[in-house]
Amino acid sequence: MTVMTSTPSVRKVSVPKTWDTRMWQFMRWSGVLLIPLAWGHILIKDVVIGVHDIDLEYVRREWATWYSFWRIYDAALLAFAFAHGMNGLRHVANDFIHNENTKRVVSWAIWIAWFVISAIGATAIIGGVR
């Protein structure tokens, strides 16, 4: 990190575009996006409709209407929320792991879990209700 200018109030730095820089940015952008996506999802499913009125038929109907709008909505939620959460878990884990090798192993384990569960979810969204 190179310090370019330095004033008492604002310090400008140039940040190298590393993997972690990109993940830092991803956390911000996905975070903003998840406000309507996640809050909307919970508002509709848990508050307006409620778990007692959600069944296979409900999901089938929802995914079939509106040119698959809700299917795309769910896909976006899956893509952004789960990656945001797993990267957050990686951050928390890194705070407690001080060994570089362990850190690497745990990070890989987290990304593999992210990939496997995301693939399961994506397959179901594409495959639809059976």
Partner 1 sequence: MATLINTLWQGLWYKGGVGNWSYQFHRLAGLGTLLFLAIHIVDTAFVFFAPELYKHAMEIYRHPVFMLGEIALVAGVLYHGMNGLKIIVFDFWPHLWNHKNEQRANILIYVATFLAWLPAAFIMGSSLYKHSILPLLGGK
Q: What phi and psi, each to the nearest 5 degrees, are found at residue 7?
A: -120, 165
Minimum distance, C-beta of residue 81 to partner 1, in the bound complex (Å): 6
Minimum distance, C-beta of residue 123 to partner 1, in the bound complex (Å): 7
The DSSP line for 9-54 is: S-EEEEPP--HHHHHHHHHHHHHHHHHHHHHHHHIIIIIII-GGG-
Number of residues that bind partner 1 (CB under 8 A): 43
CA 70, CA 66: separation in Å to the nearest integer?
8
Shorter beta-carbon distance to partner 1: residue 22 or 31 = 31
Minimum distance, C-beta of residue 92 to partner 1, in the bound complex (Å): 6
Q: Which two tokens stand for residue 42?
A: 């919970």
User: Could you tell me if 16 and 4 are in contact, meaning their C-beta atoms sit under 8 angstroms apart?
Assistant: no
Contact set for partner 1, span 36-75 (CB under 8 A): 38-39, 42-43, 46-47, 50-52, 54-56, 59-60
Query: Using CB under 8 A as the criterion, which residues of the chain lie in contact with partner 1 when the complex forms?
Result: 9-10, 28, 31-32, 34-35, 38-39, 42-43, 46-47, 50-52, 54-56, 59-60, 78, 81-82, 85-86, 88-89, 92, 95-96, 98, 113, 117-118, 120-121, 123-124, 127-130
